[in-house]
């Protein structure tokens, strides 16, 4: 709502915390509520993936293989219906972008914007291109993911055994 409090302190009322303490993130309870607010804002707005171009309206995949392509010489690694992660959206990756469009792949760049080279030329041939910082570390090569481009979300369906065991050992897998 226009003119509303940008911090939307009305959400704070249910916490029963002192409103004067609302910006004290040294307070663990305050930090917890801000972290949860951020988490759900991100979840509800679909802010995981930022759209750069998707002229053909690709909807995503219920299950897809994650493939990291770090140089254009790795273009032959790309298969049909992959989720391809590249480090940047520079002209170096133009051939990769063309291949992704031909193979019905979703291309994710870790850097770039709506006016980056691949977004500009990708509009011409119907490339589904999205931005996700640190995507390669979040989604390791060989991961199986569900990617919903309508909501802008991507989640891992399975993890490499090393990562899965680490999550189980720390107890984070069960949270």
Q: Enumerate the domain spans of the chain.
A: 9-45, 50-161
- Residue with the bigger pLDDT between 87 and 39: it is 87
Provide the pLDDT confidence category of residue 71 given band limits of 50, 70 and 90. Answer: very high
Sequence-distant (≥ 6) Cβ neighbours of residue 24 within 8 angstroms: 30
Q: With a cut of 80, say whether residue 89 has pLDDT above it.
A: yes
Please state which of the four CATH numbers 3.30.70.1400, 3.50.30.10, 3.40.720.10, 2.120.10.30 is assigned to the domain occupying 50-161: 3.50.30.10
pTM of the model: 0.66
**Using one digit for the tens of pLDDT, what is the confidence trace for 125-169?**
899 998 887 889 889 888 889 999 988 889 988 766 676 666 667
Residue 101 DSSP symbol: H
Longest dimension (CA), the chain: 58
Q: Which two tokens stand for residue 171?
A: 């107890």
- Residue with the bigger pLDDT between 12 and 145: it is 145
Q: What is the pLDDT of residue 75?
A: 94
Neighbours of 39 (CB within 10 A): 10
Token pair 């002192």 is found at 18
Q: Are 106 and 61 in contact (CB under 8 A)?
A: yes
Q: What is the CA radius of gyration of the chain?
A: 19
Specify the pairing of strand 128-131 against strand 50-54.
Answer: antiparallel
Give dist(CA 17, CA 26) in Å, integer.
14
């Amino acid at each position: 709502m226009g003119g509303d409090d940008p911090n939307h302190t009305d959400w704070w009322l249910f916490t029963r915390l002192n409103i004067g303490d609302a910006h004290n993130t040294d307070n663990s309870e305050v930090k917890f509520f801000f972290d949860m607010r951020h988490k759900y804002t991100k979840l509800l707005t679909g802010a995981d993936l930022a759209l750069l171009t998707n002229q053909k309206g690709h909807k995503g995949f219920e299950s897809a293989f994650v493939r990291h392509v770090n140089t254009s010489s790795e273009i032959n690694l790309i298969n049909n219906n992959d989720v391809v992660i590249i480090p940047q959206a520079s002209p170096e990756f133009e051939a990769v972008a063309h291949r992704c469009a031909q193979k019905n792949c979703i291309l994710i760049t870790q850097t770039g914007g709506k006016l980056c080279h691949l977004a500009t030329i990708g509009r011409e041939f119907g490339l589904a291109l999205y931005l996700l910082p640190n995507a390669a570390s979040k989604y390791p090569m060989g991961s199986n993911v569900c990617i919903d481009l309508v909501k802008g979300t991507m989640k891992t369906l399975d993890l490499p055994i090393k990562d899965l065991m680490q999550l189980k050992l720390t107890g984070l897998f069960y949270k």
